[in-house]
Amino acid sequence: MFLGGSETTAVTMHFGLLILIKYPEIQAKVQKEIDQVIGMEREPRADDRSHMPYTNALLHEIQRYCDVFPMGFIRSTTRNVTFHGYFLPKGTDVLTLLTTVLRDSTQFEKPEEFNVNHFLDENGKFRKNNGFMPFSAGKRACVAESLVRLELFIFFTMILQKFTLKATVDTKDFDVSPTESGVENLPPAHKILFIART
């Protein structure tokens, strides 16, 4: 649990930092929300997340877009099942392709693009989306989901509270597209500048 959680959290953080550099207007909106809700004097807390819809939407979109673990884990049927006309006998191994949901155009307006608005309503409030399944779904979803969500929130808000992120290269050439490694999607390598906020 700890190895899996730390690996996927680290990869998601890496993606997120690159995305914030590529889209400085998104970074500025998150920093504005941090300044309004948390300020510069205290550290972020778990209960701050419910007062920060834009940051919450950003974190959800980072996880959706980056699709770190697109195939999920192998599961087995516990009984005979007929699914969409296919018979699966008890004990059949099933591999869920989470990426098909995370890129589903019936769930997300622009599934191939990074778009924070996938998780915001017309009033700028956070909204859930049934297509958001980076942790899988049902009784066998990731046991560390709530821990990972909290870690991502705390890490990102602490970093953006103290620093502005910039690239060492021109951001028009800044590729943040995930690359497949067989099991997980990985971010491209880039150098990042952390500039202290004053």
Contact between 2 and 172 (Cβ < 8 Å): no
Q: Residue 2 corresponds to which tokens in the numbers above? A: 């700890």
Contact between 65 and 12 (Cβ < 8 Å): no
Contact between 89 and 77 (Cβ < 8 Å): yes
- The pLDDT of residue 149: 72
Question: Could you read off the pLDDT of 7-48 as tens digits, one per residue?
Answer: 777 888 888 999 999 999 999 999 999 999 999 999 999 999
- The pLDDT of residue 72: 66
- The pLDDT of residue 189: 80
- The pLDDT of residue 188: 77
Pick out the residues of the known binding site for heme.
Answer: 142
Average pLDDT of the chain to the nearest whole number = 84
The count of residues in the chain is 198
| pLDDT (mean) for 94-119 | 84
Pick out the residues of the known binding site.
Answer: 142
pLDDT exceeds cutoff 60 at 1: no
Contact between 118 and 64 (Cβ < 8 Å): yes
pLDDT exceeds cutoff 90 at 141: no
**Range with the poorest average pLDDT among 31-40, 83-92, 162-171:** 162-171
Looking at per-residue pLDDT, the higher value among 129 and 123 belongs to 123
N-terminal to C-terminal alpha carbon distance within the chain: 38
Question: Could you read off the pLDDT of 45-59 as tens digits, one per residue?
Answer: 999 999 999 999 999
pLDDT exceeds cutoff 80 at 89: yes
The residue type of 11 is V
Please tell me whether residue 143 adopts helix, strand or coil conformation.
coil
